[in-house]
Amino acid sequence: MEHDLQMPVYLFHQGTAAKAYELMGSHPEVHDGKEGYRFRVWAPNASSVAVIGEFNEWRPLHQMKRITDQGLWELFISNLSEYTTYKYQITDKQGNLHVKSDPYGFHMETRPDTASKTCNVDRYQWTDDLWRIKQQKRAPYDAPMNIYEVHLGSWRKYEDGNYFNFEKLAEELIPYVKDMGYTHLEFMPVSEYPFDGSWGYQVMGYYSPTSRYGTPEGFMALVNACHQAEIGVILDWVPGHFPKDGSGLYHFDGGSCYEYADPLKSEHKEWGTMIFDWGKNEVRSFLISNAVFWFDKYHIDGLRVDAVASMLYLDYGRNDGEWRPNEKGGRENLDAVSFLQELNKTVFREFPSALMIAEESTAWPMVTKPVHVGGLGFNFKWNMGWMNDTLRYMGQDPFFRKGCHNQLTFPLTYFCSENYILPLSHDEVVHGKGSLINKMPGEYESKFANLRAYLAYMMAHPGKKLNFMGSEFAQFSEWDYKKELDWSLLDFEMHKKFHTFSHDLNHLYLSSSELWEMDDSWDGFKWINPDDADNNVITFRRIDQKGEELITACNFSPVTRIKYRIGVPKPGIYKIVFHSGLEKYGGTAENAAADSNAIAEEISYNGYEYSFETDLTGLSTIFWRCIKCPTQRKRK
């Protein structure tokens, strides 16, 4: 082994490699004066490995050399051009052949073909230095974060059904997202995957942006264009499981290479996928390096880590007798806990401004607390409890909502226990769950009014925000990955007005530091009245670091509450800054209502010294800001 390889190889086998992709896979190289590619692959159960491809008519003419006892194989092949297709032909110890794509391949063929392609990922000329410097100086906790979640293959398509490529997406998607007032794009998984219906969550090429939409440089150009428009990029990432496709990681070298060998730990039978063995050093190096890879080579800003709960619990999706307790007799997967902690420590060491977001659906403690105090080390977590509770509440006929008022208020008892993102994701608009607007009760207009009130309430609730594409214009049909969104709905008045509502609400959020500066502190949220279940109303204050406030009232009843009194902490003139029920948004309140003011009088109410009266339009959320706070004489 060459001397300069000793440390990378050591780290790889120790499970602590942060950049194993610099060692593994195929890399352009000049060797003995000849240009070519250097191949390295880990196959500990193999008796021999060959590189096969179109360059040798897929015959095992280029045999690799085993360079470590732990199963690292290497070969240099001269005179290979970029985008040459190749695979590894592995002979296991029983003499069986396994033909596999490269786990570290940087580019792949488009399904149904599965070969890897040689590719240089170090050539792109980035122009996003200012963005990256700005992010390094900015703490995400007290900054706005309003995420637009996108499936790249179905946001828009050409009329003939073909996908937009990365460059066309940059041209069309980024101006739209910028105009609509979103701060981040979250892409459902872009790592290469064989089955369209998995939406990218069953990954074959962890280091390959899917060729459905173009080349690796095309994806780099998309990220670069996002940053030039000051849009952050978050990728969905799947370190929990992988599919059984024959050319993928499954039984890679004839044995349990990437997956657990224990049959009680190795498989998610309901998903038809295999579970990574996070206790195996080379698997840890593979996955942790993959996370770093997307930040390093593709300049992404964050990873949303999929299905964390399925990783943390040994009995996840299993009945009694179908799982094996850990060494302490518990149900926690200690390998996964250790892996996630090491993952986050490594990512933040390499990229301190990274967003590491856990999709964790249970009450596992300290998901977003530092590793050194026993946390998992993420800096954000999806608030699945908020999503489930509030959607159940909104799904009720308003007549019955007073009986489940706690579903609206309970999430506000724990909002600062973690750093939360409030997600209304793709998972809520598929598999018969109905679109967001179809979850709302009532007739046509009532559905729109309910959803406007709900989304405005979501914007006022502590926590960063995420909405799936199509929700911004109230798409009625469930999301279908095979076709583009129903953009034709914007030809209809109510959908067009709802689109305007989403635009204006997003821009209110951007311009209102009260809604994002103190998302994780009781100093940023104060109840006015959480208990008015009979009227289906909640009122509260959102406060920024300077003490400026937005007063929020949510009326989830279709009945307008006339002269409804709201307690406030100081006197003055309170101006409506946003009203979800205006006519211009498809509501019933006159647009002029947005220009109306309320005078806070020295009348104690809701535990506050001052209060004002207002009309709360049925099924609406309204925001006020104190625009003038005069010195008032106390009444005798």
The residues annotated with a catalytic role in the active site are 306, 359
Place of tokens 């489930």: 388
DSSP secondary structure letter of residue 288: H
Burial 223-242 (b: 16+ CB within 10 A, else e): bbbbbeeebbbbbbbbbbbb
Comparing CA positions, the residue from 260, 240, 365, 242 lying closest to residue 308 is 240
Residue 540's H or E segment, with its range, is strand 537-543
**CA 362/CA 385 separation, integer angstroms:** 8
**CA 472/CA 65 separation, integer angstroms:** 55
Q: Are the CB atoms for 148 and 471 separated by under 8 Å? A: no
The answer for 533, left when phi > 0, alpha when psi is -120 to 50, beta otherwise, is alpha
**CA 55/CA 86 separation, integer angstroms:** 8
Residues 6+ apart with CB under 8 A from 370: 377
DSSP labels, 304-335: EETTHHHHHBTTTT--TTSS---TTSSSB-HH
3-state DSSP of 207-239? EEECHHHCCHHHHHHHHHHHHHCCCEEEEEECC
CA 94 to chain centre: 43
Output the furthest CA–CA distance in the chain (Å, rounded).
Answer: 100
Comparing CA positions, the residue from 339, 558, 536, 520 lying closest to residue 419 is 520
The β-bridge relationship of strands 62-63 and 46-53 is antiparallel
339 phi, psi to nearest 5 deg: -60, -50
> Residue 330 corresponds to which tokens in the numbers above?
């518990």
Residue 566's H or E segment, with its range, is strand 561-568
Comparing CA positions, the residue from 170, 133, 461 lying closest to residue 301 is 133
Q: Are the CB atoms for 117 and 101 separated by under 8 Å? A: no
Q: Which amino acid is at 592?
A: A
